[in-house]
Structure 1
Amino acid sequence: MSREGVASARRSSEQLSEVVPLVDDRGWESASACAGWRVIDVLAHLGALAHEAVDPPFPDPSWPKNRERYHDMRVDERRGRSHAEVIEEWRRFTPQQLEILEAAQHGPRADEPVLVAGLGNYPRHLLANTMAFNVLCHLRYDMLEPGGPLPFRVPPPDDELVVPAIEFMLAGIPQMQGPELAATVSRPLVLELTGPGATTATVLPPAEPNGPLTVEPGIADGAAARVHSTATDFIAWSTTRTAWRDHCRITGEAATAVPFLNCLNIV
């Protein structure tokens, strides 16, 4: 189960709740590191996700199929709201979202697959890791310095915070980009992530034509290249917030890894 995901999401949300009262109007209007979004828009996005977890909207076929564009749509719906209104939505629904994710760790439905539109299918209990990733990433990489504009500090990341986020990201690699990303992998590639959240996993090419990638723990036989990075940097470069070349060291056949690294974009 993903009880660790709930704990991580809760801790990051608590850290964000300590930052929110420190931000003035100018800070909320500052450009975040998430392209096209102000800091207040980042919080609006997290509030929208929490609201949807508690009160899922009825699907509309006109909504964007691309997950990033869907998030843009939800943020755009909130652009006319005051800072206080955006903060209130986030404050109101986040605790309820955490309660729902906690409940999803128990019972026969915990392993039930859930479709997250534009991102793939995940066992219900792993949705806690999705929130852990979202809040950690947006707070630390989009809102706060050095990547973001806000000059506030939160405690350094540790395994408890980072491991669940990495677990979700690795689960998403085979699903989020589908054939586009799968076409870049012809031989096994190892991701060797160090520091808080450290893990080692191998990205395997599709087992059949037009099939998905597979991500397995550890180092698989026949790995052509290894990509070395800290886990915290992986969160930044695999989401294209920073360039992978600024953080990664490749050993083995670099030409095998570069197409994958150029294409990877975890949402």
Structure 2
Amino acid sequence: MRDAYDEWSVKGLAALGAVQDPPMADTVVSLSDLGEHPMHLLGNAIAFDHYCHLRHDIGAAIARAADLPRDPTVLAATLEWMLAGLPQMCADALDGAPRQPVNLVFDGVAADSWCLTPGDPEAGPRWVVAHGVDDDAPVVRTTAHDFVSWGTKRADWRSTSTGDVDDPRVAAVLDAIDVI
């Protein structure tokens, strides 16, 4: 089994390398219930799958998997995939949430900031995730590692998030996040 994984991972990395440069990188593909994404994010999706499933699924039963290193490059790629997919994968649940922008500030490994903002449901995307913060929006602080867990409903955000989490509008937006 390990030999097959080693063989196919080398081939997979070569294939993913081929979609990192234009025009392939910008070609948008439909990924069923995951939404539509530019091909350059396919490697991020695989990084997400490995990071999430090893540390949060297998890690629930095997401590050695849960304790794997939190590589900043892999975690940043994982976050990029989750945040790119969030508006599409969570669209229906977010439609039921208040139209409240929320800053997501990630501390620790892969520290970064993003803002989840309601879009124009009539003319464009229903919700948008943008790099950076909106100074007027509430702030939720967590770690990128914990976001992988609660952003996929493997844990509750309430146990690892701080900031404006007592605002019921913010809580409703966070409750709507379920990246698959």
TM-score by length of 1: 0.61
**How far does the alpha carbon of each residue in 1:72-98 deviate from its partner, in whole angstroms, 9 at most, with x for none?**
xxxxxxxxxxxx5xx665444332222
Equivalent in 165, 168, 171 of residue 255 of structure 1: 168
SS in 2 for 1:125: helix
Answer yes or no: is the 8 Å Cα contact 1:104–1:124 preserved in 2: yes
Change (3 A) 1:237 1:252: closer
Of 149, 159, 162, which residue of structure 1 is paired with 2:61? 149
The CA deviation at 1:163 is 0.6
Structure 2: 5+ residue runs without aligned partners?
A: none
Counterpart position of 2:178:
265
Give distance in 1, aligned partners of 2:25 and 2:51: 23
**Percent identity over paired residues:** 30
Measured in 2, the distance between the counterparts of 1:179 and 1:209 equals 15
The residue correspondences of 1:1-267 to structure 2 (distance < 5 A) are 90-144=5-59, 148-152=60-64, 155-209=68-122, 211-223=125-137, 225-251=138-164, 254-267=167-180
1:122-172 residue CA offsets vs partner (Å, 9 max, x unmatched): 11111110111111111111112xxx2124266521311211100111101
Over residues 171-210 of structure 1, what are the superposed CA-to-partner deviations in whole Å (9 max), with x where a residue is unaligned? 0111112232233141211111111111111111122349
SS in 1 for 2:33: coil
Q: Quote the Cα distance in structure 1 between the aligned partners of 2:26 and 2:135.
A: 30
Question: SS in structure 2 opposite 1:118?
Answer: helix
Count of aligned pairs: 178
Higher fraction of strand? 2
Q: Tell me the distance in 2 between the aligned counterparts of 1:253 and 1:140.
A: 28
- Kindly provide the amino acid, as one letter, of the partner of residue 233 in structure 1: D
1:10-51 deviation per Cα after TM superposition (whole angstroms, max 9, x unaligned): xxxxxxxxxxxxxxxxxxxxxxxxxxxxxxxxxxxxxxxxxx
Secondary structure class of the residue paired with 2:29: strand
Q: State the distance in 2 between where 1:253 and 1:242 align.
A: 18
Shift in alpha-carbon separation, 1:174–1:151, aligned structure 2, 3 A: closer
Amino acid at match of 1:119: L
Aligned counterparts of 1:252 and 1:94: Cα–Cα separation in 2? 40
SS of structure 2 residue aligned to 1:241: coil
Q: Give structure 1 stretches of 5+ with no counterpart.
A: 1-83
Distance 1:256 1:151, change over 3 A: closer
Offset at residue 102 of structure 1 (A) = 1.0
SS at match of 1:131: helix
Higher radius of gyration, 1 or 2? 1
State TM-score, norm by structure 2: 0.88
